[in-house]
Amino acid sequence: MKRACVRAAVVFGVIVMTACSNTKEDLGSPTAPSAPSPSPATVRAVVVGGAAISGSTYQMTARADLTDGSARDVTTQSQWATSSPEIATISATGLLTIARSGRIDVRATYQGVTGSMPLTVTAPAPGPLFILSGRVLETAPDQKPLGGVTLSIVGGPDNGATTTSAPNGQFGFVAVHGGTATVNAQKDGYVVNQMTGIVLDRDREIEVVMFPTPPKNDSGATATARCNDRSWSWAQTRADACTANGGIAYAVCPGPLCSTVTTR
């Protein structure tokens, strides 16, 4: 049986009332305070490093040091920049390419924190220079020199260099660097000719052959062959193509008469 009591006392003119019980259940159990949730780790510092991988390139790295004492590689997650892009540029993955000698700061920013590394870089000594020249011809049946063709180096050390063939088909790139180049040749009315794997270890002459863009017939079908009299054929077999036009000069590739995968 529970018993409650009320006591009253006068203390300095103030009535203080207390309630009591002779049972432990009425007192209740104290609640322990919950531990505060730990704060998520944040970036304390970004440390930039790097190593040369060739005479003109460095692979830079970025490490984020966190407030919980851990660290992580953030090279590909960082935003990269250099203090002098005219001296060296850097890609989104931290590949630094040297254009000329000088001193730069390489910076990596991750989650609003920036780290930097000073570098004194030296551009590699220029290698030997060569001449890449040649002539442009239209393919058979004409096989005539072709002027006004734009030739562009689209792969290799001189990427972006352009020249145009003269009326006699001659062209030339002077002072090109050694290496392996890819050259595109293009002219309105002709299929783009891309030449890959041109090794530049000496002066070289090449012959560029251009193919006229094959026409379409009234049904929208592309010609399948060029005839020796300069006409076009839409035949689906070699036996039927250009039979009254001097035979086949060449088959249009890709196409039903083409034995290779070369696009013409």
**pLDDT tens, position by position, for the chain (264 residues)?**
444 444 444 443 444 444 444 444 445 556 666 666 667 899 999 999 999 988 889 999 999 999 999 999 999 999 999 999 999 999 999 999 998 899 999 999 999 999 999 999 988 777 789 999 999 999 999 999 999 999 999 988 888 999 999 999 999 999 999 989 999 999 999 999 999 999 999 999 999 999 999 999 999 999 999 999 999 999 999 999 999 999 999 999 999 998 754 444
CA distance 200 to 28: 92
Note the pTM of the prediction, 2 decimals. 0.54
DSSP code string of the chain: ---EEEEEEEETTEEEEEEEES-GGGG--PPPPPPPPPPPP-EEEEEEEEEESSSSEEEEEEEEEETTS-EEE-GGGSEEEES-TTTEEE-TT-EEEE-SSEEEEEEEEETTEEEEEEEEE-PPPP--EEEEEEEEEEPTTT--B--S-EEEEEESTTTT-EEE--TTSEEEEEEEESEEEEEEEE-TTB--EEEEEEEESS-EEEEEEE-BPPPB-TTSPBP-EEETTS-EE--SSTTTTTTTTTSEEEE-SSSTT-SS----
The residue ranges of every structural domain in the chain are 43-121, 129-210, 215-264
pLDDT at 198: 94
Spelled out in words, what is the top-level CATH class assigned to the domain 129-210? mainly beta
CATH-assigned architecture of domain 43-121: Sandwich (2.60)
pLDDT at 8: 42
pLDDT at 21: 44
pLDDT at 92: 95
Task: Please provide residue 220's backbone torsions phi and psi, each rounded to the nearest 5 degrees.
Answer: 90, 5
pLDDT at 123: 84
CA distance 225 to 90: 49
43-121 and 129-210 share one fold: yes
pLDDT at 204: 96
pLDDT at 3: 47
Residue 239: which of 224, 253, 220 has the closest Cα?
A: 224
CA distance 243 to 246: 7
CA distance 65 to 26: 54
Buried-state track 146-181, b at ≥16 Cβ within 10 A, e below 16: beebebbbbbbebeebebebeeebebbbeebebeeb
DSSP code string of 141-182: TT--B--S-EEEEEESTTTT-EEE--TTSEEEEEEEESEEEE
